[in-house]
Structure formats: C-alpha cells, structure tokens
Structure 1
C-alpha cells in the first residue's frame, strides 16, 4: 500500500475531497421516509364520499342563489378540517422527532473526529465506531480493536460477528463491543439498509371498520339519491308547476336529510376527543381512525429505550462490600470511565458520577461484550 493511502487512512478525507464528492452526487442521500405529504393528507380528507355528496348538493343550492340554504356545506369543512389538522400536526411532530433522534456518526476528516448528520457522510469517509454506535453506511473495516457487530436486524442471526480489518460491515447493524473504524464504500440509495427501507417502509392507511361501514351506507344512499332526486324534481316542475330554482331548492331540501352527516360528524368528533385525551398523556396519533384500532388492542409491545424513555443512564447508588475501601473504589471507577475512549451508557453514567480521575496509567484493556457482560481496565 502506498504512503499516500496510509496517510489518508490515518487522517480521513479533506474538506476539498468532501466538497468534490458531494458535487459528484456521492453523498449519503438517503431516500425520504415514506410518510404522507401535506398534499396527500389534504386530498385524503377532502375527497371523501360524503364530501362529494354534500358538495354536489351545495353546488346545486348555490347555483340558485340561495346561500342560506347551503349552510349544510359547513359540514364539509368540519369533517375535513378535523382530520387535516390532526394528521398535519402529527406529521410535523414525527418529522421533528426523526431529526432529533437521528444517529450521528463519528467521522474522521483531516485527522479530526467530529459528529455529523448521516446525510453528510460521503463516499470514502472514515467512520469511527464504538459500543452502541449504529453503522449508517456500508463499508470496509480499516481499524479493529475487538470489534463485534450485531447484524440481527439484517440477517436474523442473534450471534454477534467479529469484524477484523478488510471485512465488510453493512448499514443497519450496530456495534456491541470493541471499537474500530471503517471506510464508506456504499452511501445513499446504494447502501444495504436504504434499499431495505425503500422497499419495506411504504405508507398504508389504517383500516377502520367504522369508516368502512359508513362508506357502505353512503354508497347505498348514493344509488338511492339519483332516482329519488329525479322523481322529486319531476314532481316539483310538472306536478306542482314550480319554477326551476325553487324546484332545485326543494329537491336538495328533500335529499340532504337522507345523508347521515350527523353520523359522520359525530364519528370524527369521537376520534378527535380520543386524540386529545391521548395527547394529554403524551401520546401522538398519526391518523384519526387509529383510535379505533387502539381500542381493539389487547397487548402492546414496545422497545422503550430511547423511544419511551431518555436514551441515557444515571448512577443511583454504589454498594460496597467493604466500607473502608470506598476511596479506592471510587478512584478506580473514575479512572475506568476517564480512560475508556468510547464509553457506553453505563460507563458514561459512572463518569458523570465520579469525574475526578486520579491519573493512573493503564496496562491492559478488556472491552465490553454482551456475551460476557463486563469490561475492564488494568492499572498494573
């Protein structure tokens, strides 16, 4: 290997290299999360069957010049507005959470390590790894110190995999023990996890039996309204001898009560009340019908770390076997936390509780792994 390649391995890319690679489109341009856009949310809540029925009747009434008789059109605004406001609110909140909860890799550039957003990683970047770090792009390991990677999310295998130099790592896996670094070889849509996410994370609407039942009723009523409207307008024009505008108003007045707009409105209000009550308990609902689905759930399974709780730890209590040895124990714990180059959550909690390290010189390292469930440092 050339001296130039060795130097690049040690220090990483320069800012000029990064700018050039971004201009060439070789950055980690990850496909957007498959959620509904604002346009789709508005279209899904406005273009419904009941809005179509009431909209046609409203147009007929307004064409006669009778604005007061078209007040039932406010139901269109109410039915659509409740769903639009809630779903847009949920979308914006989830988008903000996605940004806040992003895993920021530690990238080495020009010999300096810094955290950057995943979409700023470029081809050839050196990404440093430590316990708990997620691998954001595919790459080749160039440094390994007892590096163990969990690939269960990709392969289904629960056993960790030891990664030596020149072995491949795939995005979507994460480090469980040791430390190291890898060079990005596939970024953006070429990365393994991005391909899986693009295929699997398609947005689907929540199935609601209440709304399905209401749609069936409205479909049946639609078929009845066509002949009923024709008979009513015929009777108004020819049997009663009314003019066209009064006849149209009379037809609409007879057809509007056939539409169960109260049922639809009360269903939307019931969903909205459920969303508000869940919001008071710090819950976020993406779609109104999800309330109905939650009512049918018997068991909820959730991964709480970093989602329902803060992704961090605090040292609550130190229990000693010998109370006379407390100073040496706290000194050892402080040194352990201070000298760990990539501490996990437990070691970070110890370091926060005991920040004053005595300055001992370490002689050996035993990295943490989930198999043995311990790590340690020796100080001669």
Structure 2
C-alpha cells in the first residue's frame, strides 16, 4: 500500500502489517535492540514527522470578501455609489452600514471542517517510550518512524500504528470502531480475512491502552496511520451549501437582475420624459433600495438562531445556522445502534441450562455465579463496578439473583487467569477448592461455538444432544438481539494444573448459556414511528453484527414494512449500494460491520439519489461521513472531540428521539421562514410603486416616498414582526406530511404572487390613496410645484408621511395574514404569538417617533399627521388582512 511521505521526499511503501512477524521485522529493518539514533533521524527525513497534517485555513479576509460580494450586497453597493454621486452622503453611509451588518451575520457560519482535522492531531501523544540503540528511552512522539520499537502499558496513548511483538494489552478502540468494550491485543500470527481494525495483534495511533504490557514495532506514522487516513478523508469532503443558502443566493440574483433591469428601464424613461439628472439618480437609488429586502438576510439569520436556541434546550446543539432549515428537509436518517437507539447498558437478559432450558431453579443461580466469577471486574472506592461492560453486566445480573461473589476475595484467592484471546474467543479463571471439595475449579466463558467445541457430555446422555440444544438456544437468543456467552467448568487436581492453556481449556462440562442485552431507549420506538409518519426512512449503520442490529431494529419499529440486512457492509460495491438504495423506497436497511469508508459511501450514495441525509456518529472514524452528510449528528456524551467538531449537530443526550425533535423543529423553521419572506416581500411592491408613479408621470406626480423612509421600513418597522413570525408554532400536520423535495425552493411562485401581486398590490393601493388624499385635500393638481418654498411643500411632506405610515400599517395587516398560508386566523388564534404583538407595538411606537418627534422629522422628511388621515390609515391593517383572509377562504373551499 503506498502512503504519503514528507513533503519533498520520495513516496514510501509501507509493508503489510499482517505478514509473518519475521518478514515484517526484516522489511522494517529493525531487531531486538530497535533502531539506532542515526537511522531514526534518517528515516524521519524520509517519512516526515509523526503528525496529522492540517490544510491551511481559508483566510478570514477571503471569507469577508465573499460575503461582501453577495448579490444582494452588490446591489446595495451600487445604490450606495449612486447616493454618493447624487451628493446624498447620509444615505450612502446608511446603506454601507446595512451591507456590513449583513456580512457580520454571515460570518457567524461555523468553520468546523478545519477544526475537526486539528482535533485529530490532539489524539497523538506528545511523548513515547521506545527502544533505540538497545536502551529504553523517552522521545517526542512526532519523531517516531517506521521500525521503532514501542513500549506500551496501561494508561499510555498509542503514538503510531504498530504490531505487537511481545506481551498482550487491552485497548480502547472506540474512537476508531465505535465499540465501547476494550479490545484484547495479543502477540501472534494475523487472522486471515479480518478487517485491519479487528486484527488481534495490531494497535493504532490515538487509541488508549487500558491494561497489560506489550512491545510493538511501528509500521506506519503520520498521515499513513489509520488516524491520518481519516484526517485525509475529512479534508477531502467539503461542506456544500445548504438548500436554504443555495435558494437565498438564487433568489438574490433574481432580485438583483430584476432591480437593475427595472432601474435601467425607468431611468431611461425618466430622462426621456424630462426628469432632471439628479431626480433620475434619486429615482434609480430608490428603485434599487426598494427592490432589495435589506432585512432578509439578518432576519433569516436571527430566525435560525432562535431555532438553534430552541433546539439547544431540547438537547440538540446546532453549530451551523442554516442546518436548522436543512433538518426540515431531511428524508433519511442513518443512525448508529449502540448508545443512540440503545441505552449502551448491557444487562443479563436470559439464562439457559442443559436439561432445564430457561426455567428457574438452583442451576440458574449456579450458572449466574460462575459467569460472574469468570470476570476481572473490580469495585472502586465508591463501590462502583469497573471493567468491561459485558462483564459488569454479568456481575450485576448475579447480584440481582443474590449470588454475586465477593470481588475482592475472589481476586485475592484466584490461582490463574487466562485472559480473553480473540483467536480462541474465550477466557478462563482457576479458583481454589471450596469447603466442599479438594479440586481446583476452572471456569471458562466465551463464544458458544468455541466453548461447545471443547465440551464433553455427561455419562448416559446422547453425545450430541446437549450441543444441538445449546446451539438452538444460542441461535434463538441471537435472533432476539442478545449477545450470547457459553459458560463451562472443569475440575482440576490442585497439584496438576496443566502447563499449557489449550490443555487446561479442554474436557469442559457445559453449565449453560447467558444472554446479554442492550435494551433500546424507551422513547425510540415512538420517535421511529413519527419518522415513518413524516416520510423519513431510518437506516442503521453500525460496526455490530447484523443479527443483533436487526433485532434492535425490529424492536424499535425500524424496517416496517420491510427490513434488509447487509451483514458485511464493507464488501458492498458502489453499483450494489446504488441498487440497494434505489430498489424500494419503503425498505429500511441495516448496514452491519461498517467501516469508516462504508459510512462515507452510504452518505455519498444517498446524496447521489437526491436524498437529504442525517448521519449519526461518535468515533473518529465517523468524521468523514459526518462532514459529508447534509446533517452530521455527533454524540455529546459518548462521542469524541473529532466527531463533535466534524458534525453539524451535537446531541447532548445521545438520544435518537432528539433527532426527530430536531427534524420537526426544522420543518417549523422552514415554514416560518416562508412566512416572514411573504411578509417582507409584500412590502417591496408598495415601496417600488411610488417611484414608478413618479417616473412614469415625468415628475408631474412628486415622489411619494423618500429613500430614507424605505430604509426605516426595511430595517426598522418590519424587523421585529418578521422575527416574531419566525417564532410561530408548528403548522398543523407538520410531521404527517412527506419531506419536501430538495428542488422545492423556499420561495415559490405562489408565494411571490401572494406577496408581490396580492398583498403588495393591496398595500400599494392603500398607501398611494393616503398620499393622494392629503395632496388633493390641499388643492394639489398634477404638475403643481411641491418643492421647498412652494405653497404645497408642507402638504407634500405630510403626504409622503402618510405614504410611509400607510405602508407601516399595511405591514400590521400583512403580519397577521402571513401567520398562515392556508388556515384561517381563527384556527391559529389571534393572540397565540405574543412576540408578534410586542413587535407590532414596537412598530407603532417607532413610527410615531419618526412622525411626531421633531429631532428626527427633518432627517426622515416626516411631519405630524392630521386626525382624519390617522383614522383613514388605521383601517389599512383590517383591509389588508381581510382581503387575504377572503382569498384563503376561497382556496379552502376550492380545495387548493
């Protein structure tokens, strides 16, 4: 296998770590005394430091430039430039402030991909114990090279990928495999056909030694290790923009193109009908500013931030704001089993004894006690059990039957321990004779097939009857999702303990079988049912075996109506995976024995088929898949730092049900984003129409609205009500409708027709009627001068104020109308959104200050309104809401 070497150095070929140890030593050029110091230095030059290489981060200045070049920002830059050309510096600076605020919000997006790889580097320890020049010495871990002899013992973090040459240790491989139980690693020949991570004589960089002592020869360092390979996968998988980000950018370009086209057309028209150049520029600025929904990006950001805070209170920390919306379109969840669907707490579920089956009785207690005796579990100072989770379950189960041994006394009296050997798939202990006998007692536990192959039958019983019954019972337990262990014993003469292990673990008598079960979380079944109601499929991608995962899947409802199990997911090719995922949309799949590449392949295949994927994970091995999925979901309690950095969302409770809650919240946020987009876009029409009337009349009708008044509307009066619409409750039936298609835009044609062509037209008509009412009451005729010093100037300022106030009051009616797209306001309740009521109150107070507070009247071109004008304007909210309520009533009657 070719691996990366140091920059500028020739590529190196790493030997196969599974070849015979003598051959591996020869290829690595190392002996019992390790490498010489000079040879280690030479190899360091060739192979490079033992570090995970991190790509250079994208500079903050480059990201800032990208945000300032957003299409909406470009449109506002053009408006600011026109303002400075026209000599309106205050307006120009105001627009620039808007641009910078929007860019600041956008820069809140997380840069988690780079941090994930940086976190990987922290798994490599700073120092390592090695043998060089025939002596033990401590060196910097970054200076390790292939061929170094490592010394490992309990508490050490493994600094490089290595093969054991002496001794045996237990290692915590959870960061690579996701399995919580420590793995035995012993010196010996490789086992053919096993994945690399399951080889019983290999240890890997970043894992932790939890027990034992061993010597190992390093065969891979730096980016050539499993840790480095995963880092490379994480760096190659780039984050794509979420559907919301893509759609907002697409709509922004559409608005920009429309605004520029309209500005060009009306600018030419204005000049053609005799408008002065200054007025034509003012018109162009007004048209650009009116067409740009300045509040859209910050309000979307704030609404998503509200969704993030809401999810955090429910146990889901979302790191990227746009991911809240993406959750709403998720239609496939790929979940781990252990700790996510299950409680990650093994318990003794079933006991079976020969001749008695699962019946109770003294033989069951004897079996439970023997199983607890054959463990290495201890108690800490607080009395808590410490050790392998499987063995802790055996001891706790025996305690539940009142036959738990005294762990301290057992440990002190024990004669011999044959530790678990993954090749033999069993472990044994030898106890001294008890008060009733003078023989040593050997107790063995392990895989049923391994134990049964070493048992003998009691006299008078058919030779293979017990074996057949035991195998049938073991198969039945496995089908019910249990981990099955067989327990057997043998009496040994006190002075005749066999010298070899294989001789001791022979001629065993079967005591029975124990079934251990990691039960599902109680809330998962209901969560899976909600997924199915919402049209979301759930696949299990796990390192566990297929039978256990399938049993858990069926218990929680995954696989209804059809479940398919892929027992060796690592061997599935891309064409087979495509066929599997595309064959039946109702089939849910268990991908068993999955590797890091398998998870990544599944995520890629689902994306290829147009699915929006949420992928859970907790280990370092999950980082590339978490980064590649639309929504990477890491475990907050049991997960690694790398997984949490690579993920988009972190579950603080490691609970599958929280994912479903997040999907529901995502759908609600998506619906609410559409609501306030309708609300914001509905005001573009009444803001554009005054400038169109001004231009098309050739200046005979004075400008009914100023540019600063537009900014006051877009960034002042409409912001809080729009944000309040983002807090609306979920629409009825949000989790009973299927996920929306990825191609479905957050802004649809019906939305634009409703906002621009219906709510907008009604609002524009009402606002312009207020403008003309004030002018005509003052005796104005088209073409009459209204500039400073003219007789009609005060009436003109009052008329523009009426237009401004009219648009604001129309906003109130639009806010109530936008709360629902189909249902009536009575169904959702007039007062059920107190934040909206507070936002409207602020809107009214803010408008009153701009109209009646003298220090700001001159800046915004406003003047106090007469009572009759106020009374007319106060009817606008009811008229806007009433006409839309009538439209929705007609649609409900027609079934559209």
* Shorter-chain TM-score tier: 0.5 to 0.7
The equivalent residue for 2:419 is 366
The residue number in structure 1 matching 2:572 is: none
Query: What aligned pairs does 1:166-205 form with structure 2 within 5 A after superposition?
Result: 173=197, 180-191=214-225, 194-195=228-229, 197-198=231-232, 201-205=235-239
Q: 1:270, CA displacement in angstroms? A: 2.0
Which residue among 299, 322, 326 is the counterpart of 1:293? 326
- State the partner residue of 1:250: 283
- Confirm or deny: 8 A CA contact 2:150 2:217 kept in the other structure: yes
* SS of residue paired to 2:216: strand
Q: Is the 8 A contact 1:108 1:128 kept in 2?
A: yes
Instruction: Using structure 2 for the length normalisation, give the TM-score.
Output: 0.31
Aligned to 2:297: 264
- Residues 18 and 272 (structure 1 numbering): CA distance in 2 closer, same or farther, change over 3 Å? farther
Given that 2:186 and 2:421 are in contact with CA atoms closer than 8 Å, whether structure 1 keeps it comes out as: no
Aligned residue among 26, 30, 53 for 2:52: 30
**CA, structure 1 residues 135+273, in 2 after alignment: closer, same or farther (shift >3 Å)?**
same
1:289/1:234 Cα in 2 relative to 1: closer, same or farther (>3 Å)?
Answer: same
Per-residue CA deviations over 1:159-211 (Å, capped at 9, x if unaligned) read x999735999x997266689754322332234466456525642433443333
CA offsets, 1:122-163, max 9 Å, x none?
33333457899997745554336599999xx89xxxxx9997
Contact 1:122 1:184 in 2 (8 A): yes
User: Which residue of 1 is the match for residue 263 of structure 2?
Assistant: 229
Asked whether the 8 Å contact 2:200–2:422 carries over to 1, the reply is: yes
Which secondary structure state, in structure 1, belongs to the residue aligned with residue 33 of structure 2? helix
5 Å-filtered alignment, 1:37-52, equals 38=60, 41-52=63-74
Aligned to 2:103: 80
Q: Deviations over 1:350-377 (max 9, x none)?
A: 9xx97899666754423254984x6444
Alignment of 1:1-380 (within 5 A): 6-9=31-34, 22=44, 26-32=48-54, 38=60, 41-70=63-92, 71-88=94-111, 98=120, 102=123, 104=125, 107-110=128-131, 119=142, 121-127=144-150, 137-143=160-166, 145=168, 164=188, 173=197, 180-191=214-225, 194-195=228-229, 197-198=231-232, 201-237=235-271, 239-244=273-278, 247-281=280-314, 283-297=316-330, 300-303=333-336, 333-334=377-378, 363-367=416-420, 369=422, 372=425, 375-378=427-430
Does the 8 A contact of 2:77 with 2:96 survive in 1? yes
Output one character per residue of 1:279-336: Cα deviation in whole Å (capped at 9) or x when no partner.
4455443432211121223564444879999xx9999xxxx959xx9xx97997549x
Structure 2 distance, partners of 1:348, 1:191, is: 33
Structure 1 residues 216 and 112, CA, compared in 2 at 3 Å: closer, same or farther? Answer: same
Change (3 A) 1:65 1:314: farther
- Name the CA distance, whole Å, in 1 between partners of 2:293 and 2:408: 68
> Counterpart in 1 of 2:437?
none
Residues 331, 357 of structure 1: 8 Å contact kept:
no
Counterpart contact for 1:29–1:187, Cα < 8 Å: yes
Which deviations, in whole Å up to 9, do the C-alpha atoms of 1:199-254 show, x marking residues without a partner? 5642433443333333333323333333322234445556445345x543331112
Structure 1 residues 331 and 139: CA distance shift in structure 2, 3 A: closer
Contact kept in structure 2, 1:172 and 1:193, CA below 8 Å: no
Query: Bigger radius of gyration, 1 or 2?
Result: 2
Alignment partners' CA distance in 2, 1:41 and 1:280: 31
Question: Secondary structure at the residue paired with 1:75?
Answer: helix
CA contact (8 A) 1:149 1:175 kept: no
Q: 1:135 to 1:146 in 2, by over 3 A?
A: closer
Paired with 1:174 and 1:129, the residues of 2 have a C-alpha distance of 19
CA apart distance, 1:347: 7.7
Q: For 1:256, what is the secondary structure of its paired residue?
A: helix
CA distance in 1, matches of 2:118, 2:155: 23
Counterpart of 1:142 in 2: which secondary structure? strand
Greater relative contact order (Cα < 8 A, sep 6+): 1
Q: Work out whether residues 57 and 114 of structure 2, in 8 Å CA contact, stay in contact via their aligned partners in 1.
A: no
1:97 & 1:308 partners in 2: Cα distance?
27
Pick closer, same or farther for the CA change 1:106–1:278 going to 2, 3 Å.
Answer: farther
Distance (Å, rounded) in 2 between the aligned partners of 1:347 and 1:60: 76
Match of 2:418, SS state, is: strand
Q: CA deviation at 1:41?
A: 4.6
Q: Distance in 2 between matches of 1:105 and 1:192?
A: 18
d(CA) in 1 for partners of 2:161, 2:338: 25
Task: State the number of aligned residues.
Answer: 346
In the superposition, the TM-score normalised over structure 1's length comes to: 0.63
Which whole-Å CA distance do the structure 2 matches of 1:39 and 1:13 have between them? 48
Other structure's SS at 1:185 match? strand
Q: What stretches of structure 2 of length at least 5 have no aligned partner?
A: 1-21, 178-183, 203-211, 348-363, 380-386, 396-405, 432-496, 498-896
The answer to whether the 8 A contact 1:134-1:173 is kept is no
Determine the C-alpha separation between the residues in 2 that align with 1:265 and 1:98.
34
Shift of 1:116: 7.6
